[in-house]
């Protein structure tokens, strides 16, 4: 570190508190709405910290829970606090390391903030992913959202080249495109974009661009006001609280009977979590270090499906380094037409092997995109000693009846 930099830092540290302020404000700043909102956010952070420690069963779960809190706070600020409807952008919710909120590890999620007093034109190309959709959501006083409109790769109205236009406006535009009515009475909201890949290596992602109608991109905007910043912090808190407690209120909860599945869809979760054609079978797993689960399903005749493993806080487990999910394009089908997954603490030679990365418990989710009335039998789950599970899986993959 240079002597000049050290001198500058010392000068700053030695300045009396408050001397750097550009103006004095009698009474301090505690009466600002943004300060109050920030204090509420910090209280919520501490409440989630207590909830995580209450629900954890070992050191690893507690430690990962503290990291989960930071990841969730970072994402909540990225996608809500910094949404800025006056000059919006599409923010990526997850990263290669941050996979929280029970997301699809074989997909991408983006959000954009909007306000009803402005009109928006969204354009791009749908790409080649198995599923691409827009959920237009309006914020409610409860902190949850309701749906104003939904369009996917089939209903968006893309042309033969895959180019599309989505309008969020008070009045229906004369130009072509998919229209969602907003207007001042709609208040504030967001767009949630889902993109699911059967095979990331071969599929071309969609593109996204947004334009605020009547505004030049370089046009200066007024500085954010105290109420505006307060609202952005409140939005961060709502998102943080909702995602942080998914393990408690999204059925099944961690204390549900493990190693079995339940059917769920957006009626069960709400429009801000699911969409009309996203359907689920969700369960919790519980296995020891030398045990395994054989999860048996019938392949689904739908546009997309996958099976994913999560830790107790609804995080994909070491997504960048481990096999924690498999899609319809990646699974191996046994001679009898069944797909069987082997869920273990460590990787195995089984073609449909999924890891918990040493977690004794967590969540497991089948997700698919299909017609609303699609109904599939619940997966069969068998818990066995690891050696027995591997032997049984080898026999089934050869088309031989398993020993009883």
Q: Residue 24: what pLDDT?
A: 58
Mean pLDDT of the chain: 88
pLDDT at 265: 66
Q: In this model, does residue 269 exceed pLDDT 90?
A: no
pLDDT score at 393: 85
pLDDT at 399: 63
Q: What percent of the chain has pLDDT over 70?
A: 88
Band of pLDDT at residue 318, cut at 50, 70 and 90: confident
- Res 236 pLDDT > 50: yes
Q: What is the pLDDT of residue 12?
A: 33
Where is average pLDDT lowest: 59-68, 113-122, 346-355, 372-381? 372-381
Is 400 a residue whose pLDDT tops 80? no
Q: Which helix (H) or strand (E) holds 275?
A: none
State the Cα–Cα distance between residues 265 and 253, nearest whole angstrom: 16
- pLDDT value at residue 267: 63
Question: How many other CB atoms sit within 10 Å of the CB of residue 260?
Answer: 15
Strand 131-139: give its sheet, edge to edge. Answer: 91-92, 107-115, 188-196, 131-139, 145-152
More confident residue, 269 or 389: 389
Helix (H) or strand (E) holding 234: helix 226-244
Q: Are 362 and 312 in contact (CB under 8 A)?
A: yes
Q: How confident is the model at residue 216 (pLDDT cuts 50, 70, 90)?
A: confident
Exposure pattern of 155-188 as b/e (b: 16+ CB <10 Å)? ebebeeebebbbbbbeeeeeeebbbbbbeeebeb
Mean pLDDT calculated for residue range 135-161: 90
Could you tell me if 187 and 136 are in contact, meaning their C-beta atoms sit under 8 angstroms apart?
no
CA distances from 147 to 35, 192, 284 (A): 31, 11, 29
For 8-62, how does the pLDDT look when each residue is reduced to its tens digit (9 = 90+)? 333 333 334 344 344 556 668 999 999 999 999 999 999 999 999 999 999 999 9
Residue pair 272/356 in contact (Cβ under 8 Å)? The answer is no
403/204 Cα distance (integer angstroms): 45
Question: What pLDDT, on the 0 to 100 scale, is given for residue 29?
Answer: 93
The better pLDDT of the pair 274, 52 is held by 52
Poorest-confidence range of 69-78, 134-143, 184-193, 290-299? 134-143
Q: 104 near 196, Cβ under 8 Å?
A: yes
164: nearest Cα among 193, 124, 130: 124
pLDDT of 280: 87
- For residues 8 and 236, what is the distance between their CA atoms, to the nearest angstrom? 35
Which has the higher per-residue pLDDT, 345 or 4? 345
CA dihedral 357, 291, 366, 350 (to 10 degrees): 80
**Mean local confidence (pLDDT), 59-82:** 95
Share of residues in the chain with pLDDT > 90 (%): 68
Choice between 72 and 254, residue whose per-residue pLDDT is larger = 72
**Domains of the chain: residue spans and CATH:** 33-216+225-246 (no CATH), 248-397 (2.60.120.1600)
Read off the pLDDT of residues 79-119 as tens digits, 9 standing for 90 and up: 989 999 999 999 999 888 888 888 899 999 999 999 999 99
Closest-CA residue to 44 (of 242, 189, 273, 227): 242
The residue-averaged pLDDT of 114-137 equals 96
Q: What is the reported pLDDT for 84?
A: 92
SS3 state at 103? coil
- State yes or no: pLDDT of 226 exceeds 70: yes
């Amino acid at each position: 570190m240079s002597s000049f930099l050290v001198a500058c830092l010392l000068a700053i540290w030695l300045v009396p508190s408050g001397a750097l302020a550009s103006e004095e404000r009698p009474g301090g700043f505690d009466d600002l709405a943004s300060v109050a909102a920030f204090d509420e956010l910090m209280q919520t952070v501490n409440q989630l910290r207590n909830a995580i420690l209450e629900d954890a069963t070992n050191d690893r779960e507690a430690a990962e829970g503290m990291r989960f809190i930071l990841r969730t706070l970072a994402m909540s600020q990225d996608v809500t606090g910094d949404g800025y409807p006056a000059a919006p952008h599409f923010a990526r919710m997850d990263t290669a390391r941050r996979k929280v909120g029970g997301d699809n590890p074989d997909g991408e999620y983006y959000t954009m903030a909007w306000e009803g007093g402005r009109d928006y034109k969204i354009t791009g190309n749908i790409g080649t992913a198995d599923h691409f959709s827009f959920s237009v959501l309006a914020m409610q006083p409860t902190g949850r959202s309701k749906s104003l409109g939904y369009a996917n790769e089939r209903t968006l109205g893309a042309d033969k080249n895959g180019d599309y236009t989505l309008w969020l406006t008070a009045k229906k535009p004369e130009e072509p495109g998919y229209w969602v009515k907003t207007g001042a009475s709609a208040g504030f909201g967001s767009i949630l974009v889902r993109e699911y890949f059967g095979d990331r290596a071969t599929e071309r992602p969609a593109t996204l661009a947004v334009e605020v109608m009547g505004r030049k991109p370089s046009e200066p905007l007024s500085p954010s006001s105290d109420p505006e910043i307060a609202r952005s912090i409140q939005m961060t808190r709502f998102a943080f609280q909702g995602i942080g407690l998914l393990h408690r209120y999204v059925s099944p909860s961690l204390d549900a009977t493990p190693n079995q599945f339940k059917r769920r869809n957006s009626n069960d979760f709400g429009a801000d979590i699911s969409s009309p054609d996203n359907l689920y079978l969700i369960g919790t797993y519980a296995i020891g270090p030398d045990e395994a689960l054989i999860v048996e399903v019938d392949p689904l005749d739908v546009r997309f499906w996958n099976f994913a493993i999560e830790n107790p806080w609804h995080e994909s487990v070491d997504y960048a380094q481990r096999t924690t999910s498999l899609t319809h394009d990646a699974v191996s089908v046994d001679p009898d037409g069944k797909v069987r997954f082997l869920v273990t603490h460590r990787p195995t030679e089984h073609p449909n092997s999924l890891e918990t990365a040493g977690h004794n418990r967590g969540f497991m989710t089948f997700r698919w995109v299909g017609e609303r009335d699609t109904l599939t039998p619940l997966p069969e789950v068998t818990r066995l000693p690891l050696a027995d599970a591997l032997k049984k899986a080898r026999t089934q993959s050869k088309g031989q009846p398993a020993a009883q």
